Chain A
Amino acid sequence: MIASFRQVWQIARLTFLEAVRQRFFNFLILLALALIASAGYFRQLDFRDQSQELRFIADFGLGGIVFFGSILSVVATAQLFFSEIENRTALTMLAKPVRRWSFIAGKLLGVALLMLVFVGVLTTLLGFLLWHREQQLIAIYHDAFIKGNWLNEYPDAQRVRFVGLAVDALLQWLKFDVLAAITMLVASFSNTNLYTVVVSFFIFLICQLQYIAYDSWQKISFPALRGLVWLLSKFFPNFQLFAVGEFLVFPAKVAVPHSAILAAVGYGALYVVVFATLAVSSFRSREI
């Protein structure tokens, strides 16, 4: 058993190293970094007053993380899986005493590490930008701030909660892991990289919009349609559960209880396990 875990770790390490050497990863992370860093310039397009400026920067940065992270987790998972198949290295690897579950688990762990680095780097940059601007705003509104009058004079102004930013990063990372596991499941039975990427993106869209089915099935009166919508709401995970970044970073108006965060973490973690198990099951019957 320990040997199997060692194999998983070795595959994960190699997968991670292969991924960070890929031009796609480097290009995407640079693009995301540039976008987040430019949040201050995009601010000039914004209609809100200065008191909500930090909220804009946070939304912009979190949007960048979610957008590029979703692309990366789908494309990287598909690429890393099919590179092993197309280069025939999977054949060599699986000819040795490496179990198929170790292969899938190793690949997923490698992608999870990659996403951890991605989310970590971008969140650190975003955190720095927010901290930097917050300090500038505090200097501008120094008197009100010192008097503790900040929130009275600028009722919409809110200070950044950096712990909340870190918690949001964890939630996004978990969501990317679920998405990577979904992509791995699709890859385990599909024949091409392109098919895997396209289908996975469609599933991603459905998961993002799953809440519409979840919210509306009770309102539908036609039994057949009601049943179909109910099935849809149970069949796909609800990715909007992880969209609480704004409330975590600025909890002054709406605080997200710990129980909701824990429920989302448990929900995500269980889905990773389920999709990974299905991917292993499907990969077992695949002819390489």
Chain B
Amino acid sequence: MTIDRNSWWWRQGRAAVTIIATLLVTGIILGPLQSRAWTITRRNQPELNFQNLGDSLGQGTLLGVLGGFRNILADFAFLREYTYWEQRDQPNTEAMLNLATTLDPNIVMFWTDGAGIIAYDIPAWYKYDVPRPTTEAEAKAFAQKQTEINHIQAQYGLEFLDRGLQFLPNNYNLLQEKARIYQNRLSDVPGALEQAARQYLLAAEATKEVYFPMRQGIRLLWGLGDKQHQFEAYDYLKKRYPTIPENIPDAQKSVLWDTLNDMESALKIPEANRAHFPQPANYSKDPDFSPLAGFSPDGS
């Protein structure tokens, strides 16, 4: 069989092979150039993958992802997530949270609100999915299952925040949210309260202008009850105390001064080794308030 070089098939085939071969050779030759630019660009791009884009691909999001508008589409995804949240639709709520944070991982509120929804709201939906327990055994099984769900969702919430911390490293809002989840949702898990204290203290280190995480971290660490943690809490407060301003009410320097003194008494620190910081100028003491109440070693 002879091949007619003037036939349509021959000409089209040759053209197709030329195009394919040229593009492949070009791609291979430009490979190093692409790698050079892509390595740097890729590092800075939010992780975009189809798993995260999920069901929203058909809603115009793909075009947005391809052609810009990432920020506004992230806002829309977050608003859409609220609709699913109202309907107690867990898969879609989580999908939209993932989508919003994938499209724009720089918004702190997406991470903190999202973690709250995952760790607090979604577990509360369980009671709507099962019949109301009528017997004691059913109530016990229900409570057990609820605790299990609480723990699983709390873990998801923590993982969600860890992902956020990859984009917003050392962000005190995210660290504080992690601490809250450990404290409020996992307090019955061994070691969780210590984790909560550590996260609060990390948050306190991340910002010197917000004082609540510092106080909360110290109180939780003290409340663990053993001497080692209490000395750690005391040392931390002693170190931070001189940096606390007197003129900012939120800093509560008077309370911290009392806390330090109470700690020294409780730990029986010898007089010579005590901090002896001067009393704050605007010192005021609430006689009914004890900074370490409920957190002292003997539980008093």
Contacts and interface: CB of A to CB of B under 8 A. Distances in A.
A87 interface: no
Interface string B19-49: 1101110111011011011101110110001
B1 interface: no
B55 to A, nearest CB: 18
A65 B67 CA distance: 9
A211 B38 contact: yes
B70 A59 contact: yes
A259 interface: yes
Contact of B28 (A45, A66, A234): A234
B285 to A, nearest CB: 33
A63 B36 contact: no
Interface range for A: 35 or more
Interface in B77-128: 78-79, 106-107, 109-110
B143 to A, nearest CB: 36
A238 B38 contact: yes
Contacts of B78: 47
Interface residues of B, number: 42
Nearest to B19: A278
Contacts of A46: 71-72, 75
B41 A243 contact: yes
A270 B50 CA distance: 30
A261, A270, A274 interface centre (most CB from chain B within 10 Å):
A274
Contact of B20 (A56, A62, A235, A285): A235
Nearest to A172: B68
B67 A45 contact: no
Interface of B: 11, 15, 18-20, 22-24, 26-28, 30-31, 33-34, 36-38, 40-42, 44-45, 49-50, 63-64, 66-72, 75-76, 78-79, 106-107, 109-110
Given A234-B24, A256-B41, A271-B26, 13 more contacts: A47-B78, A48-B106, A63-B71, A189-B15, A235-B27, A237-B27, A241-B37, A243-B45, A247-B44, A257-B40, A263-B34, A270-B30, A274-B23
Interface of A: 42, 45-48, 52, 55-56, 59-60, 62-67, 70, 156, 185, 189, 205, 208-209, 211-212, 214-215, 231, 233-238, 240-241, 243-245, 247, 254, 256-257, 259-261, 263-264, 266-267, 270-271, 274, 277-278, 281-282, 285
19 contacts: A47-B110, A48-B71, A56-B72, A62-B68, A63-B68, A185-B19, A208-B67, A235-B23, A236-B27, A237-B27, A238-B34, A240-B41, A243-B41, A243-B45, A254-B44, A260-B36, A266-B33, A281-B15, A285-B15
